[in-house]
């Protein structure tokens, strides 16, 4: 199966990015031991003070989909939801490179 | 020093993405042994047939800047240039997560 990448945007409600980032970092802790997650890097946008960008690499799309059914992940999503104004992303498909 | 992430877009001239991707994959080979480059993953855009997105993690901004002065990297850039219509990206700063 092919590796799976995501570049997803979380837009916080105005002024709520730091709080959202804190919760998302806990989410990353949750993923630390999760099978199939190679990296899950949380970035701040440099030019939008309310935006986080998440850079993810998974062993395959199935591992990513499975993580979204994990109870601990669902609990983090639930806690983040009130802080989030919008979710979007850049649809991509990895084709190669170092670290893939 | 802080880790450094990039999410950069290369837009090929119409119909030239596959050719550009091939050259970029050679560029990734060049980076394989390069100090400070943790990953350099080349992605196809799912919704724009002319676009590649490069997802990068470096030990620090200096390592990234140094790579752009490397002769082999410069040679790849030179070969890619005629195929590229535009370069842009999402300015981000990593704050944490798995794999960082």
Class level of CATH domain B4-90: alpha beta
| Rounded Cα distance, A10 and A77, in Å | 12
Closest residue in chain B to residue A33, using alpha carbons only: B98
Q: Are A50 and A11 within 8 A, CB to CB? A: yes
Which residue is associated with the tokens 């590229």? Answer: B84
Residue B86 scores a pLDDT above 90: yes
- Chain B residues with CB under 8 Å of A99 CB are 38-41, 57
pLDDT at B82: 98
Mean pLDDT, range B60-71, rounded to an integer: 94
Cβ–Cβ below 8 Å for B28 and A98: yes
DSSP 8-state symbol, A60: -
Residue A26 scores a pLDDT above 90:
no
| Predicted local distance difference test score (pLDDT) of residue A1 | 62
Q: Tell me the C-alpha to C-alpha distance, in Å, between residue B3 and each of B80, B92, B93.
A: 27, 11, 9
The residue ranges of every structural domain in chain A are: 4-90
Q: What is the pLDDT of residues A12-25, one digit of tens each?
A: 999 999 999 999 99
Alpha carbon separation from A46 to A92, B54, B60, B99 (Å, rounded): 21, 18, 16, 21
Q: What is the pLDDT of residues B2-44, one digit of tens each?
A: 999 999 999 999 999 999 999 999 888 888 888 899 999 999 9
Helix (H, G, I), strand (E, B) or coil at A41: strand
Q: What is the mean pLDDT of chain B?
A: 94
Query: Given this model, what pLDDT does residue B1 score?
Result: 63
Q: Sort out which chain B residues have CB atoms less than 8 A from A57's CB and list them.
A: 39, 41, 55, 99
pLDDT band at A67 (very low <50, low <70, confident <90, very high): very high
CA-to-CA distance for A13 and A43, rounded, in angstroms?
17
Q: Is B49 on the interface with A (CB under 8 A)?
A: no
Whether residue A61 lies within 8 A of chain B, CB to CB, comes out as no
């Amino acid at each position: 199966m092919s590796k799976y990448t995501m570049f997803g945007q979380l837009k916080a409600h105005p002024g709520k990015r730091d709080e959202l980032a804190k919760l998302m970092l806990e989410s990353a802790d949750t993923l630390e031991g999760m099978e199939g997650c190679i990296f899950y890097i949380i970035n701040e946008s440099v030019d939008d003070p309310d935006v986080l960008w998440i850079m993810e690499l998974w062993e395959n799309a199935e591992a990513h989909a499975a993580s979204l059914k994990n109870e601990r992940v669902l609990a983090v999503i639930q806690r983040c939801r009130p802080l989030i104004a919008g979710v979007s992303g850049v649809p991509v498909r990895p084709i190669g490179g170092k670290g893939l």
